[in-house]
Amino acid sequence: MDVEERMELATRNAVEVVTEDELREILETKERPVAYVGFEPSGKIHLGHKLVIDKMVDLQKAGFKVKILLADLHGYLNEKGSLEEVRETAEYNKRCFVAMGLDPKDTEFVLGSEFQLEPDYALDVYKMARHTTMKRARRSMDMIARREENPPVSQVVYPLMQALDIVHLGVDLAVGGLEQRKIHMLARDVLPKLGYEPPTCLHTPIIHGLDGDEKMSSSKGNFIAVDDDPDTIREKIMKAYCPMKETEGNPILELYRYFIFREYDEVTIERPEKYGGDVTYGSYEELERDYAAGEIHPLDLKENAARYMAEILAPVRRRLGVEA
């Protein structure tokens, strides 16, 4: 692939790149650039995680070496359990990420505690704290923590560590969901004051929960897990929020946009002849247009999304050793 083909692969389904010129320069000048994303170990790996892992798979195909940070110390600071409990969860997460298609030979999994307890890292945390206002740190915090009236100090340290993870892992491209943007902008602003280069950042969309909530989350139960069986997938999708003709914030349309059309060049909405019969689309934009015009009923959209998502997740379930 030439640079432009690699750029197209690297940026598909991305919300933004800060900046595209920097990313292009990385591809032109680095023989083996490094892309990274960090995950706080959580109990259930769902489609929100898959959206980011799919992007890391794209980056591997575009020539990047991928580093996945399993942020056990972050999880501990965020009160997700003892370090031992968080690390146990991290091992399960690692298995899920490989099952989703990451090349294990080209992926380096790193526990945060392997480097975040080193003196140089700790000193950088203190240095960064000197250059970051409390207002800026709070603005960069996790959305739930920002809403707390009196969050623990650990929640303020958390975004500083996320910024420093980028440089201490030797990263060329930092990847994260759009909710990570404030942290990445903090890193671009403050890391140069510590003598580091500002990181290039790529942001993926935040997909809505099946209930229409602004974010899919295991804590809210509004998700499809990557190891859900076909019956569970269908049950969840059939109950999901999917207003007639509405395209903004519609989680079922997002399944088509970010997952189904990623895997299939053509997508067929199967339906009875009395309702118009089967219709095939060559792009998400065509499907969205017809849905907005009322040409596709929400029930047909859901039935076919369930069928396609079960097919897409079947290989993941097999790799995890779960009956497909």
Model confidence over 166-205: pLDDT tens digits?
999 999 999 999 999 999 999 999 999 999 999 999 999 9
Q: What is the dihedral of CA 81, 85, 88, 89, to 10 degrees?
A: -20
Q: Which residue has the tokens 């999708």?
A: 237
Domain boundary among 156, 173, 204: 204
Per-10-residue mean pLDDT of the chain, 324 residues long, equals 96 96 98 96 93 98 97 88 94 96 95 97 96 86 59 83 96 96 95 97 98 92 96 98 97 98 98 95 98 98 98 96 74
The angle at the Cα of 277, spanning 275 to 279, to the nearest 5 degrees, equals 120
Model confidence over 195-254: pLDDT tens digits?
999 999 999 999 999 999 999 998 889 999 999 999 999 999 999 999 999 999 999 999
Cα separation of 275 and 65, whole Å?
Answer: 48
Q: What is the dihedral of CA 295, 234, 91, 321, to 10 degrees?
A: -120
Prediction pTM value: 0.93
Cα separation of 73 and 289, whole Å?
Answer: 45
- State whether 172 and 233 are in the same domain: no
Cα separation of 159 and 99, whole Å?
Answer: 29
Name residue 166's amino acid: I
- State whether 32 and 58 are in the same domain: yes
Coil vs helix vs strand at 106? helix
Cα separation of 297 and 251, whole Å?
Answer: 15
Cα separation of 73 and 89, whole Å?
Answer: 13
Cα separation of 182 and 180, whole Å?
Answer: 6
266 Cβ neighbours under 8 A, 6+ residues apart? 280, 281, 282
Cα separation of 19 and 205, whole Å?
Answer: 16
| Total tally of structural domains belonging to the chain | 2
- 209 belongs to a structural domain: no
Coil vs helix vs strand at 7? helix
Helix axes 154-168, 119-130, angle to 10 degrees: 120
Cα separation of 301 and 57, whole Å?
Answer: 27
- State whether 173 and 141 are in the same domain: yes
- 264 belongs to a structural domain: yes
- Are 175 and 55 in contact, with CB atoms under 8 Å apart? yes
End-to-end CA distance of the chain: 35
- State whether 164 and 282 are in the same domain: no
Domain boundary among 204, 236, 255: 204
Whichever domain contains 228, its CATH number is 1.10.240.10
Task: Of 159, 200, 166, 161, give the one whose Cα is nearest residue 180.
Answer: 159
The parent domain of residue 50 ranges over 3-204
